Amino acid sequence: MTGLIGFSSGFHTMMNADTLILLGTQFPYRAFYPSDAKIIQIDINPGSIGAHSKVDMALVGDIKATLRALLPLVEEKNNRKFLDKALEHYRDARKGLDDLAKLSDKAIHPQYLAQQISHFAADDAIFTCDVGTPTVWAARYLKMNGKRRLLGSFNHGSMANAMPQALGAQATAPGRQVIAMCGDGGFSMLMGDFLSVYR
């Protein structure tokens, strides 16, 4: 993972890539773009193409359909050198993050709490997170498995979004576990949402 809440392994991999493929994202963080890589952007919205970076190749279309059309043209590589180096870097970065998520007898650290929430949450849990540090903890410590979902305001920056999103998610999927990860500022702003729950 890279970008504002990513960590070193994603950044290292992107900086050393010879080709960067953007699938359905404008990825607005110019500081995280590799300087020498070819950039290919695929998006259904032509207005998104090249919005934040010069692209070497642009394809307008549905991501799934476009990839299905392109995959038969791609040759499989057997040289795993780049991949193995990226995975090694990821394992080191992951260990560093996991070392921060240790139980302490003095305080409950947010890294540990987020890791424990992930560990005990249902396999198909829906998580919502407030902007700011709850987004960082969610991105770094929630283990997503294809069945779990993460909702947030993210770049929109809306405060106190986790609780109303959780209420909406629970109303939409009443049989699933929904967990709201609220920050202290967001929590103080969302107390009125408890009235909505009560009513």
Query: pLDDT by residue (tens digit) across 152-195?
Result: 998 778 889 999 999 999 999 999 999 999 988 888 888 888 88
Average pLDDT over every residue of 42-69: 95
pTM of the model: 0.82
- Exposure string of 83-114, with b = 16+ CB inside 10 Å and e = fewer, is eeebeebbeebeeeeeeebeeeeeeeebbbeb
CA dihedral sign, ordered 10, 119, 23, 46: negative
Q: Within 10 Å of residue 22's Cβ, how many Cβ atoms?
A: 20
Which of 48, 46, 21, 47 has its CA nearest to residue 34?
Answer: 21
Instruction: Name the fold adopted by 8-83.
Output: Rossmann fold (3.40.50)
- Delimiting residues of CATH 3.40.50.970 domain(s) in the chain: 103-198
Mean pLDDT, rounded, of the chain: 92
CATH superfamily, domain at 103-198: Thiamin diphosphate (ThDP)-binding fold, Pyr/PP domains (3.40.50.970)
Q: Start-end ranges of CATH 3.40.50.1220 in the chain?
A: 8-83
